[in-house]
């Protein structure tokens, strides 16, 4: 796919820059760099110093927390028009997480100094950054809640519900076992045991290596999860 050509009108499609005047956008353009990344390539790593903020033009990225021994947790995934790298931009601290391309993706990089100048006269853009950070915090709170208070069975059930899409009359789950494990913060072995239990109960099935949800109501029913469920555990 040909890379997107960066122009003032492309920049204006990003919500943060929508309210800028033409001359402000034109002044910003020369300092913005466009990068393409293949699938699974790290765009920035946890602990690094900040060099600016990134905006996604196309594709998706994963926000990952890693333990340095090969285990990782998927904290969030972001797509077109989203930005990342704002945390180190705001507080000057190190990058809080690793950001990796899901599939091929295109991003724009704006140096911190230029973005700061641009936000100075743009209350709307500052409010948007704040609102986005608050939304992410709410989601992170929900994740902390689930990690602390919902068992692995319940977390897997919720993830299957969230990530399944109806196609040709069946509810097909996007991620596989390994990805679900990284989303729910449990080991692959534990998740695979939970999935096997769900298959045995007829709640899901495997078709051409893909998980299919057969009984959404059972997955959504908290009484079929939690401490009363035979498959328990937290990791
Ligand atoms: P920064 O810390 O500069 O670099 C890593 C980025 O990952 C961070 O900024 C945010 O943009 C993003 N990030 C970190 N935690 C979350 C989260 N819980 N939800 C969404 N994005 C996050």
pLDDT digits (tens, 9 = 90+) for 166-188: 999 999 999 999 999 999 999 99
For residue 5, how many other CB atoms are within 10 A of its CB? 7
Predicted confidence (pLDDT) at residue 229 exceeds the cutoff of 50:
no
Can you tell me which atom of ligand 1 is nearest the CA of 136? 19
Predicted confidence (pLDDT) at residue 222 exceeds the cutoff of 80:
no
Bigger pLDDT: 234 vs 216: 216
Long-range pairs for 224-231: beta carbons < 8 A, 24 or more residues apart: 224/157, 225/150, 225/151, 225/153, 225/154, 225/157, 226/150, 226/151, 226/153, 226/154, 227/151, 229/151, 229/153, 229/197, 230/197, 231/152, 231/153, 231/193, 231/194, 231/197
Predicted confidence (pLDDT) at residue 95 exceeds the cutoff of 90:
yes
Distance CA 135, CA 27 (A): 30
Predicted local distance difference test score (pLDDT) of residue 19: 82
Confidence of residue 234 (pLDDT cuts 50, 70, 90): very low
Closest CA relative to residue 153, chosen from 193, 201, 211, 204 = 193
Q: Ligand 1 test: best mutation among 78, 83, 85, 96, most atoms within 8 Å of CB?
A: 96
Bigger pLDDT: 121 vs 50: 50
Q: Ligand 1 test: best mutation among 60, 84, 88, most atoms within 8 Å of CB?
A: 84
Can you tell me which atom of ligand 1 is nearest the CA of 84? 11
Can you tell me which atom of ligand 1 is nearest the CA of 88? 3
Bigger pLDDT: 18 vs 214: 214
Q: Ligand 1 test: best mutation among 16, 55, 63, most atoms within 8 Å of CB?
A: 63
Residues 6+ apart with CB under 8 A from 21: none
Distance CA 141, CA 126 (A): 23
Task: Check if the beta carbon of residue 68 is closer than 8 Å to that of residue 47.
Answer: no
In the chain, the domains with their CATH numbers are 8-146 (2.60.120.10), 150-225 (1.10.10.10)
Predicted local distance difference test score (pLDDT) of residue 231: 45
Distance CA 121, CA 115 (A): 11
Alpha carbon of 47 to ligand 1 centroid (Å): 12
């Amino acid at each position: 796919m040909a890379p997107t050509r960066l122009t003032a009108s492309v920049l204006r499609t990003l919500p943060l820059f929508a309210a800028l005047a033409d001359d402000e956008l034109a002044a910003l353009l020369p300092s913005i760099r466009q990068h393409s990344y293949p699938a699974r390539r790290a765009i920035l790593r946890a602990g690094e110093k900040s060099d600016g903020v990134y905006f996604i033009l196309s594709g998706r990225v994963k926000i990952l927390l890693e333990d340095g021994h090969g285990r990782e947790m998927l904290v969030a995934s972001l797509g077109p028009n989203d930005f990342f790298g704002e945390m180190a931009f705001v507080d000057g601290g190190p990058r809080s997480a690793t950001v990796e391309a899901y599939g091929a993706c295109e991003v724009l990089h704006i140096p911190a100094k230029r973005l700061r100048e641009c936000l100075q006269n743009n209350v709307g853009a500052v409010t948007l950054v704040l609102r986005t950070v608050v939304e992410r915090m709410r989601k992170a709170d929900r994740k902390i809640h689930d990690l602390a208070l919902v068992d692995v069975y319940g977390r897997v059930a919720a993830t299957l519900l969230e990530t399944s899409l109806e196609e040709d009359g069946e509810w097909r789950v996007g991620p596989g076992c390994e990805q679900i494990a990284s989303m729910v913060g449990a080991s692959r072995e534990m998740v695979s045991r939970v999935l096997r239990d769900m298959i045995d109960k007829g709640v899901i099935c495997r078709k051409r290596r893909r998980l299919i949800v057969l009984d959404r109501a059972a997955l959504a029913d908290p009484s079929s999860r939690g401490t009363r469920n035979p498959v328990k555990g937290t990791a």
